[in-house]
Structure 1
Amino acid sequence: MWIEAIVMPREEDTPYRPSLLRDRRAVYEVGRHESLQFRERVLNYLQSRQLMSAVKWVSEPGSLPMVTLRCQERVLEQLRQAPQFEAGKSLSLELQS
């Protein structure tokens, strides 16, 4: 059975510091770069544990370090156990009229 999982980096204990960048384009580019690097870390993790055969789809990088996967439950369990990731199942909304 395929599920949709959301993966984010585990929060660090360092306090939040607002960006000194005031240019929106620069802030966006920094976010895109962080997102691309995080996506690569997730894919490397999955490949190193030979889990890619249990992954159907991986989201493209966005402006936040977050990856959405269409995967099997065992992939989500492995990601939850990894100390560098926070992972969970996304909620499905089935609307009825």
Structure 2
Amino acid sequence: MWIETIVMPREESATYRPASQRDRAAAHVAGRADSQHFRDSVLTYLKSNELMNAVKWVSEPGSVPMVTLHCTSGVLELLQREPRFEAGRSLSCSVY
């Protein structure tokens, strides 16, 4: 059974500091680069652990470091154990 899983980088707890003002276009480009790098690290993890057969679909990079997968529950469990990632099952919402 395929489940939708969301994977994000695990963040260390740090004190909040507001970002300085910067150009939105530059922030978007930097966000896309971070997203691509994070997606590559998730794919590298999946390939190195021979899990790609248990993954049906992987989202393309966006403007934030986050990956959505359609995978088996076993892949989700392994991603949750990996200290670099925060992973969880997405919630389904039925709209009538």
Between the aligned partners of 2:6 and 2:42, the Cα distance in structure 1 is: 11
Determine if contact 1:32/1:64 at 8 Å carries over to the other structure.
yes
Q: What is the match of residue 93 of structure 1? A: 93
CA RMSD of the aligned region, Å? 1.2
Identity rate, percent: 60
TM-score by length of 1: 0.92
Q: What is the match of residue 49 of structure 1? A: 49
Partner SS state of residue 69, structure 1: strand
Q: CA deviation at 1:21?
A: 5.0
Q: What is the match of residue 62 of structure 2? A: 62
Q: CA deviation at 1:17?
A: 3.4
Determine if contact 1:38/1:66 at 8 Å carries over to the other structure.
yes
Q: CA deviation at 1:94?
A: 1.6
How do 1:7-26 and structure 2 match up within 5 A? 7-20=7-20, 22-26=22-26
Q: CA deviation at 1:22?
A: 1.5
Off by >2 Å, runs of 4+ in structure 1: 13-21
TM-score by length of 2: 0.93
* Alignment CA distance shift 1:21-1:48 (3 Å): farther
Gaps of 5+ in 1: none
Gaps of 5+ in 2: none
Equivalent residue pairs, number: 96
Between the aligned partners of 1:12 and 1:51, the Cα distance in structure 2 is: 26
